[in-house]
Structure formats: structure tokens, C-alpha cells
Amino acid sequence: MPKVEFLFDFGSPNAYLSHLVIPEIEKRTGAKFVYLPILLGGVFKLTNNRSPAEAFAGVKNKPEYHRLETERFVRQHGITRYQHNPFFPVNTLMIMRGAMAARELGIFERYVDQVYRHMWAEPKKLDDPAVLRAALLESDLPADRLFELVQTAPVKEALMAETQRAVDRGTFGSPTFFVDDEIYFGKDKLRDVEEAIVAKR
């Protein structure tokens, strides 16, 4: 079975939509996606890239097409738990460091599920520490311990190291997928990812 990796930042709606579809692919292929937290702002800085919202802000018809494409994807996969976050763009530094801390505490999967829920299913302003703390507590996650850990050097360094490693491997945005060493970018490449998994089994 090939190694399958998903490089994500909670701030990307397309990464969230991918997250909702990944379980179907895992079920069909028997593969297990390894989730790797990266800081999208850091990736953009290191690659001189910008978010689609920024890059296409002045382009006629492009943002409308992006919205249409998202609606199609949502329909195609029967996704019901998705809303545009009215606070977008949200600074994700704290919650991405939180993902590294959650990994350390052995609660990574639950943390990812719950933070994604608070970001895109029941959208909140998660770069407000008070809002984030309340969301974590509502999800029965150890808010105090997580807040403590995100301030520590090892957690900060781990996120930056993961981000740098992602860029060194060819990443320029999120969602990015690797099937062994083959890179795929964007939620629309999930079909290719699945085909690559099947071909390498």
C-alpha cells in the first residue's frame, strides 16, 4: 500500500471539503491518509504565492467560477456540513499550532474534526482566543493544556519544520496530497489520488 499524505491548513475551505471526502476514499481503497498540519501563510511566504481570494480578487468572472465549482463539489459528494465562514480569512497560526499540540497529547484526529467543524460547519472566528477557547471546551477538548502547549518552542518549531518540509517537497498551497512521492494539488485531484492509490496497491 502506498503512503498517502494530506497537507492541510484549517483556513482552506478546499482542504475542509477534501477532509469530508477522504473517508470515502479510505473505505474504497483501504488506504489511510496521514494528515500533516502546515501553516499556509508560511507556505505562501516561502513560495511567493497568494491565496485564491487575493490572487483573483480583481479578475472578472474567476471568483464566481470558484463559487460555482465549490457548489458542484458539495452537491456531487452530498456534503451538508459546509458554510462559508463570514470571518474569512481567519489567521490560523494558533489552531495550526494547536494541531501539533493535539498530536503530542494523542487527541489529533478529534481535534482536527472539531476545529474543522467550528471553522466550516458552524463557522466561528477562531483567531479570537476567547472564541477558540469556548469552541474547544464545547468539544470536550483540553483547552487550557492546548493553549499552554501552543506557546512552547517545540510546538512552534514543529509546525515551521513541517511547513518548510512541505515546501521542500513541492507544496505551494493546500490541499496538497502525496501518494508516495507524487504530488497532487487541489480537491479536484482527489480522483487522481484515488487512482494512484489503486495503481500502487
CATH number at residue 74: 3.40.30.10
Residue 166 near residue 36 (C-beta atoms within 8 A): yes
Q: Is 6 strand, coil or helix?
A: strand
β-bridge mates for residue 185, sequence order: 176
Q: Alpha-carbon distance 82 to 116, whole Å?
A: 10
pLDDT tens readout for residues 11-24: 999 999 999 999 99
Q: Which domain holds residue 150?
A: 4-200
State residue 144's pLDDT score: 97
Residue 37 near residue 99 (C-beta atoms within 8 A): yes
pLDDT tens readout for residues 90-119: 999 999 999 999 999 999 999 999 999 999
* Number of domains forming the structure of the chain: 1
Cell 480578487: give the residue.
Answer: 57
pLDDT tens readout for residues 29-61: 999 999 999 999 999 999 988 877 776 777 888
* % of the chain with per-residue pLDDT over 90: 88
Residue 183 near residue 176 (C-beta atoms within 8 A): yes
